[in-house]
Structure 1
Amino acid sequence: MRGFSTLLRPGSNKIATSVLVRKLHTFPSHIAVAEEVKAAIHANEPVVALESTILTHGIPYPYNIEMAIELNKISRSLGVVPATIALINGVPTVGATDAELEYLCQPPADGSFLKVSRRDLAYMTAHGVTGGTTIAGTSILAHLAGIRVFATGGLGGVHRGAESTLDISADLEELGRTPIAVVSAGAKAILDLNKTFEYLETKGVHVSTYGPKGTNIPAFYSRDSGIPSPFNFDSPEDAAAVIHANSLLGLQSGMLFCIPPPHEFAIPAEEIDDAINTAVIAANEAQIKGKAITPFLLNRIFELTEGRSLKSNIGFVKNNVAIGASIAKALSLKEKESSNIINPAPTAIHVSPQSQKANESKAKPTPSSVDCVVVGAIALDLTCDMPFATLSSPSTYMHTSNPGTIHRTPGGVGFNLCLAASLATESPIRMISAVGPDCRDLHSALSLDMSTAPDLSGVLVAENGVTAQYIAMHDSRGDLIFACADMSLVERLSAAHIAFEIERAGPLKWIALDANLDHEPMQTVLTSAGKAGARVLLEPTASIKSQTVLDLDIGIYPRHSVEVATPNTFELEAMFKHARSKGLLEQPEWWKVIDACSTTADFRNAVEHMAKSRGLSELVDQGIVPMGIHMLPFIPNLFVKVGQHGVFSLQLMKEVKGRNVTENQISIASGLVVWRGNQLDGQNVCIVVRHHAPHSVDADEIVSVTGAGDSFVGVLLAELLDSDKNGVNVLEDIDDLDKVIDRAQRAAILTLKHRNAISPEIQNLPRNHA
């Protein structure tokens, strides 16, 4: 069988590889992002970044660790996820754990923890160095992680005497080119504050000070530097509006929101100035320069103020973080409310009174509770039948106008799945999607019968959006010549809306995902599914889109996040090639699963013999089975649609039920190969390869091929839902699964014979788990 020798590694050959823990594949470098932070970012929930040089170089132990823990508590008490950023053993880390914070707060006796700014990041990452990130370093990593608000103590700036030393903090340069909002007590008082804020103006950095109009910029320890503030803001919501506008305008410069220290922590300007001037003289006499000067000055000021400067510093940092977290929370709400697609209210779709009455007559649970949601595209399908066009003679119809018949029907992969599943089960299913104002009354626009339509309360109307559209050209036999899809509205479906709707649905059994979505909303589906305790079925949709799922954090068996996928042969091949090119087939966890499968030559020969005996030599030559087996550690249940040849199922499971299977089993007649591997984490590992023969249909019965695959997947989803309600896991039972696939294939045949993308006759198919 082509491909087995090159795709499957012999168990005796080990390949050593190093994979960074928590590597986020979408970032341009290896960055470890805490799961809590990733989940919040994907769901557009508030996160506030915190720097680490204040821990490694600013405040001594044990005050630093006490403050770090307290800052996290302050953020969480406001409903905001804290993310302390640092470089730990060469790994840029966003969201340090408690253990990592303790490690950072107790530097080695030789003081080898370094300050990490932009210029240092690459070198220190390459050499495995640990260090505290400055405002510049923290801003870079926060921006890469998608964090918008960063709270800290004081900004670096132009040092006194910079006209001769040129000692200017990289913090200022970074604020001029990184779009992040820094919340601080102004700039450090040891600096030349006038020159610092002139520099920020030159760099186009927005500066606002908290307080009524006329409130001056603070001076770190003291409330008033005497420098007028260009702008003022009077609430977190006010600051959030500026940050949001900065993003809408596409400005790539940062913003500085200055917070005067609370009265109880402020030190009078005259008193602190005397201490600073004395400390600066001492630094000059000792010839302290560069990175060492700030820690030296802060330590000397601590001594001169008898510890009051430290108390002040800790006090206003806590205040800054509280306000910064509040700004992050206000920004999250602002962006949810102002999104073109998002409106948290679940009543965005208008339903006529007559339709509502019909819907209420159905025996459905309350609108907030469903067993399953489908996240994906709703589209208006235009199907063009060209009776004189043939695939074998393109010259007869290309580059000219063709006579034919055009049909307008409801469609979109996600909607088709949802409708087919709703026709095939009594389990309540809700659609999560978005449409344009042309579909405000969705049921009317799509000409839906409310007695069979799914719950569409999760669909929102984007007032300035355009409903997704799909145009397909069919030849005289109903075969697809080519198609064009505009799914832009659905692709950018807001992650926050998805998370809201999944949470609103309550405990879920299954979530079906249409791969038309972009990376962020797809990741939100997986994250939200984990919280809801739901299993995920993925419909890859198209070759180019099928690759997207492998760019997500989908995990590896048995800690996978996608349970079932239903690719066709082209999509499966695209997934495999993408996984190989991304290096995903080199991960130690992946090899661990493949080794446990122990697919020897006997297994490969058995699959090849079974496939060829059933007339599937073409699929053997394409390497469909080995490519599928390579995908099983990521998605343990693959139902590959192979067109006129039916369906190939490839499964990775702990135990096989049905037919009294106790040993490896090969059944050519029923197209079945059961292969028992070794144990994985104390559990059995089995691979089941099965060919499900197609149902025959006469060519002259085929009306349209559009929606046949979606009908198959929708009924498969319905069967999974019904079996779960009856306490049966059909994915582990050979006999039950055979019946499930049979019903799903019958649904596809019904749709082939119908004008609509989904045949309404599906509701009349006998049920296996009613």
Structure 2
Amino acid sequence: MIRTPARALGSRRLTLAHTTTSARNWLRGFHMHVHPTVREALTLGKPVVALESAIVTHGMPYPRNLSVARAVEEIVRTQGAVPATVGVLDGRIHVGLGDPELRALAEREGTLKVSRRDLPYVRSQGLSGGTTVSATMIVANKAGIPVFVTGGIGGVHREGEKTLDVSADLTELGRTPVAVVSAGVKSILDIGRTLEYLETQGVCVAAFGESRDFPAFFCRKSGFQAPYHVPTEKEAAKLIAGALELGLGSGVLIAVPVPPDQAASAQEIEEAIQRALGEARVNGIVGKELTPFVLRRVNELSGGKSLESNMALIQNNARVGSRIAVALSQLQMAPGGGNDGGGRRARGAAQPAQPVVVGGINVDFIAKPKSGPLQADGQTHPGKVIQSFGGVGRNLADCLSRLGWSPLFISALGKDALSQSVLRYCSHMDMGGVAQLEGHSTATYCAVVSGSGKLTVGLGDMDVHEQITQQRVSAFEDRLLRAPLLCFDGNLPLATIRYLCDLAREHRIPVCFEPTDENEASKPFLSDSWTALTYASPNLRELRAIARALGHPGPAELPRELDAVLSVAGDLVRPLLQRLHCVVVTLGEHGVLLCGRLGSPPTVSLNPAPDEPRTPEGLFATHYPALPVPAAEIVNELGAGDSFLGGMLAGLLSGLGTGPCVGLGMLAAGFSLRSPWPISPRISTTTVNPERMRSGHWPEPRTWRID
């Protein structure tokens, strides 16, 4: 059975109390779902290419739109990048679509064409739609994706000097630092005035390939010259990196001509455009409906030649844009090559909001006897001793990093040989907040576990954790204020805990407290600091210590039988639910108990629907039985709880529902139970994801009222 003896996911608040009026916070992880594959790529600095979805919803008929979208994504992958198609489904912005979501957009009728102006309305009404160039640029920038591939951008419409009909794509390029790779400007537009408008907006425009000829979507030449010329993907990447480094705040347009063998006849296309525009005037078709109408009629009038050319140029743009993204990633990650020297993106490149974890980090020595229980007889017993790396805060940051979220980790180490081994092992994590202190020793923890992996006795030298002071942590206050989630463990000094809770309360930051053991569990509850918590994560012993700190004594002896355990947990959790919305109590081999006060069954979510049922009021509990893990496969239990919490938090940050969040936690815990390391190296977005939960038997949860 999955056993989470010391630490696993605790309380979860149902309503996110982290509101803001800024657009950046509006899109920071709460109303924007980043696909795990995209999240992992961004975390690791891999190249990602943003793709629009208006071409899926409004550019081509079904099923051709779906097949083209799939083909474009596959082209991006074959070039070494990760595709991130942007779309809106039921009011939720998605960065990266799985095949079911892509199909839903392709098949669904009545979807909207979503530009910058439409995003608030579509979000508020829970509608679905395909994002245009401007909306995709906004989302890509918020997610930290610097390269976006599309077919052709909008521009100044013909006779735009009379109608003032200018695409939002142009103004977006003037204020959003994303590189747009396109086949120039749609030939149905006034290309000369469009280039002039881009100059006014301060947009750097460069033709890609052999010449400065500016392409016109279906045609390789428009009769106009681009201001600049980049002959190769590497040169284009250098141009983009330079723009990001300058921090101008504007975009870059890379204009890629359609392949020669797929270019349409300029004269034939121009004749079809003029006829389609005339029909649009007669029928009163204007605004955002004009371009889809004209493109559709041009395709009909050209006998399908324009559609074939359209698909060819989109796929060509995907090839070129992906290679540019790969070259840009290599440039930014190279020492001294457009990054900050630490493998991070160039200044000016947008970054996704990072969770922040503040807590302990240890070098662990885990001893396991070869046979039989240990006797305190003063003798040396044969066994196996391994060195690993732990600490509750480190474990959480490690698990979240492996699951596609790269939290800033704030902690303290000594400046000694052990600290160097820690930093080498944790190189996949953001250790930018870890201080190395002269005159202090890196924390160590010695654990003796039984043959079944249970902790028998532990001994810790944790004095350096007292150096995770308020002063050190407050140096990262700007990162704390931008975090979608803050986690801290019980290793911290009381003053630091109070500081974090006060900051969370004042700025409405979701905050999770992870007790390290029964002795440290009550720290936030010795004052009113705990009322600022959004989440907590006690096991049954830690929950009893918390209840006692709040003046509610629990039983002297804790039960072991399931029914009695559930009854005691329900009694102990009531004081916390006076302020917390949801509590998850980990019960070792008995699974987890989720308790809440907003209806039956209780749920966990960082982004509950506005109309989420809130009645009947009362306290409810749902018991999730543990997944079976054969005893022979269990190596140790020390990190299972932290893996569970990391998996569940990753699900919450990704906007998953309650069941999937619990399932991700259990999958992660299962890997760590089978590993000698507290956080199994096998944990990743490939091994721990919702798709993995569809196989195997999952025990049914049970819900009841506890008040």
- Kindly indicate whether residue 296 of structure 2 is the aligned counterpart of residue 299 of structure 1: yes
- Cα distance, 1:471 vs structure 2: 9.5
Q: Which moved more, 1:141-150 or 1:298-307?
A: 141-150
Within a 5 Å distance, the mapping from 1:499-648 to structure 2 comes to 542-543=496-497, 544=499, 572=524, 607-608=553-554
Structure-to-structure mapping, 1:299-318, within 5 angstroms: 299-318=296-315
Residues 22-61 of structure 1 correspond to what in structure 2 (within 5 A)? 27=28, 30-61=31-62
| From 227, 238, 254, the counterpart of 1:230 | 227
> What amino acid does structure 2 have at the position aligned with 1:166?
L
Contact 2:57 2:106 in 1 (8 A): yes
**Distance in 2 (alpha carbons) for counterparts of 1:479 and 1:82:** 41
1:179 aligned to which of 167, 177, 183:
177
Which residues of 2 match residues 77-92 of structure 1 at below 5 A? 77-92=78-93
Match for 1:681 among 602, 620, 624? Answer: 624
> Aligned with 2:260: secondary structure?
coil
Deviation (angstroms), 1:184? 0.5
Residue 427 (str. 1) matches residue 386 (str. 2): yes
Residue 678 (structure 2) aligns with: none
- Are 1:176 and 1:254, in contact at CA under 8 Å, matched by a contact in 2? yes
**SS of residue matched to 2:127:** coil
What is the alpha-carbon distance in structure 1 between the residues aligned to residue 533 and residue 172 of structure 2? 31
Q: Residue 72 of structure 1 aligns to which amino acid in structure 2?
A: E
Provide the C-alpha distance between the structure 2 equivalents of 1:413 and 1:297, rounded to a whole number of angstroms: 61
Displacement of 1:116 after TM fit? 1.0
Post-superposition shift, 1:584? 5.6
1:325 aligns with 2:268: no
Q: Distance in 2 between matches of 1:52 and 1:151?
A: 11
| Shift in Å, 1:92 | 1.8
Cα deviation, residue 132, structure 1: 1.3
Q: Distance in 2 between matches of 1:118 and 1:159?
A: 18
Q: Which has the larger radius of gyration?
A: 1
Task: Give the letter aligned to residue 116 of structure 1.
Answer: V
Deviation at 1:66, TM superposition (A): 0.6
Aligned 8 A contact 2:86 2:97 in 1:
yes
What's the CA shift for 1:72? 1.6
1:342 is matched with which residue? 342
* 2:187 alignment counterpart: 189
Partner amino acid, structure 2, of 1:680: H
Quick check: 1:93 aligned with 2:94? yes
Q: Would you say how many aligned residue pairs link Structure 1 and Structure 2?
A: 498
Deviation string, structure 1 residues 497-537 (Cα, Å, up to 9, x no partner): xxxxxxxxxxxxxxxxxx999969x99xx9xxxxxxxxx99
Aligned to 2:635: 727
1:11 aligned residue: none
| 1:573 Cα deviation after fit | 5.2
* Aligned amino acid, residue 235 of structure 2: D
CA contact (8 A) 2:365 2:385 kept: no
The runs of 5 or more residues in structure 2 that have no matched partner are: 1-12, 19-24, 345-355, 369-383, 398-412, 441-463, 558-571, 592-619, 642-707
| Counterpart residue type for residue 91 of structure 2 | G
CA distance in 2, matches of 1:77, 1:519: 34
Q: Residues of 2 paired with 1:570 and 1:25: CA distance?
A: 34
**Which amino acid in structure 2 is aligned with residue 260 of structure 1?**
P
User: For the aligned residues, what is the CA RMSD?
Assistant: 5.7
Q: For residue 445 of structure 2, what is the aligned residue in structure 1? A: none
Secondary structure in structure 2 of the residue aligned to 1:310? helix
The question of whether the paired residues in 1 share the 8 Å contact of 2:155 and 2:185 is answered with yes
Mapped partners of 2:228, 2:294: distance in 1: 30
SS in 2 for 1:314: helix
**In structure 2, do the counterparts of structure 1 residues 288 and 146 end up closer, same or farther at CA, with 3 Å as the change threshold?**
same
Q: CA deviation at 1:187?
A: 0.9
In 1: Cα distance, 2:422 partner to 2:29 partner: 41
Shift of 1:479: 14
What is the alpha-carbon distance in structure 2 between the residues aligned to residue 167 and residue 91 of structure 1?
A: 29
Tell me if the contact between 1:158 and 1:168 (Cα under 8 Å) persists in the aligned partners.
Answer: yes
C-alpha deviation, 1:569, in angstroms: 6.7
The offset of 1:317, in angstroms, is: 0.3
- 3-state DSSP class of the match of 1:37? helix
Contact in 2 for aligned 1:538/1:566 (Cα 8 Å): no
Which amino acid in the other structure matches residue 297 of structure 2? R
CA contact (8 A) 1:209 1:232 kept: yes
Aligned residues with identical type, % of pairs: 32
Matched residue SS, 1:226: coil
| Alignment CA distance shift 1:627-1:246 (3 Å) | farther
Question: Normalising by structure 2, what TM-score?
Answer: 0.57
Q: Residue 653 in 1 paired to residue 612 in 2?
A: no
Deviation at 1:332, TM superposition (A): 2.1
Does the CA contact (< 8 Å) of 1:183 and 1:259 recur in 2?
yes
Q: What is the rounded CA distance, in whole Å, between the counterparts of 2:632 and 2:420 in structure 1?
A: 22
Q: In the superposition, relative to structure 1, how do residues 136 and 655 fare at CA in structure 2: closer, same or farther (>3 Å)?
A: same
Alignment equivalent of 2:208, drawn from 198, 201, 210: 210
Quote the Cα distance in structure 2 between the aligned partners of 1:275 and 1:627. Answer: 69
Could you tell me whether the CA contact under 8 Å between 1:470 and 1:486 is conserved in 2? no
1:447: how far off?
7.9
Letter in 2 for 1:299: R
Distance 1:313 1:479 in 2: 60
For the Cα contact (< 8 Å) 1:86–1:93, is it kept in 2? yes
CA distance in 1, matches of 2:422, 2:30: 43
- Counterpart of 1:43, as a letter, is L
Map of 2:270 onto structure 1: 273
Instruction: Work out the CA distance in 2 between the residues paired with 1:571 and 1:26.
Output: 34
Per the TM alignment, residue 217 of structure 1 is displaced from its structure 2 partner at its CA by 1.1
Pair 1:122–1:575, CA change in 2 (3 A): farther
Flag the 1:479–1:218 CA change in 2: closer, same or farther, 3 A.
Answer: closer
- The SS at the match of 1:264 is helix
Q: Which residue does the alignment assign to 2:21?
A: none
**What's the counterpart of residue 737 of structure 1?**
none
Question: For 1:160 and 1:329, how far apart are their aligned partners in 2?
Answer: 37
1:144 aligns with 2:142: yes
In the alignment, which residue of structure 1 is the partner of 2:566? none
Which residues in structure 2 correspond to 1:751-762 (within 5 Å)?
none
Secondary structure class of the residue paired with 2:386: coil
The one-letter code sitting in structure 2 at the alignment partner of 1:46 is P
Q: Which amino acid aligns with 2:74?
A: K
Aligned partner of residue 261 in structure 2, secondary structure:
coil
Q: Which residue of 2 aligns with 1:252?
A: 249
Hey, what's the Cα distance between the residues in 1 that align with 2:281 and 2:465? 83
Structure 1 distance, partners of 2:130, 2:521, is 49
Give the counterpart of 1:158 among 138, 156, 159: 156
Cα displacement (A) at 1:151: 0.5
| Counterpart Cα distance in 1 of 2:522 and 2:545 | 24
Q: Do the aligned partners of 1:469 and 1:486 also contact (CA within 8 Å) in 2? A: no
* Local SS of the residue matching 2:262: coil
CA deviation after TM superposition for structure 1 residue 548, in Å: 10
Q: Is the contact between residue 206 and residue 228 of structure 2 (CA under 8 Å) also seen in structure 1?
A: yes
Which amino acid counterpart does residue 607 of structure 1 have in structure 2?
Answer: P
Q: Please, which runs of 5 or more residues in structure 1 have no aligned partner?
A: 1-14, 345-374, 378-411, 434-444, 493-514, 527-535, 612-622, 637-650, 657-676, 686-722, 734-770
1:230–1:683 CA distance, 2 compared to 1 (3 A): same
TM, length-normalised to structure 1: 0.53
- Do 1:540 and 1:567's aligned partners in 2 also have CA atoms closer than 8 Å? no
Quick one: distance in 2 between partners of 1:113 and 1:479?
53
Structure with more relative contact order (C-alpha pairs < 8 Å, separation 6 or more): 2
* Structure 2: distance between partners of 1:105 and 1:481: 55
Shift in Å, 1:456: 5.7
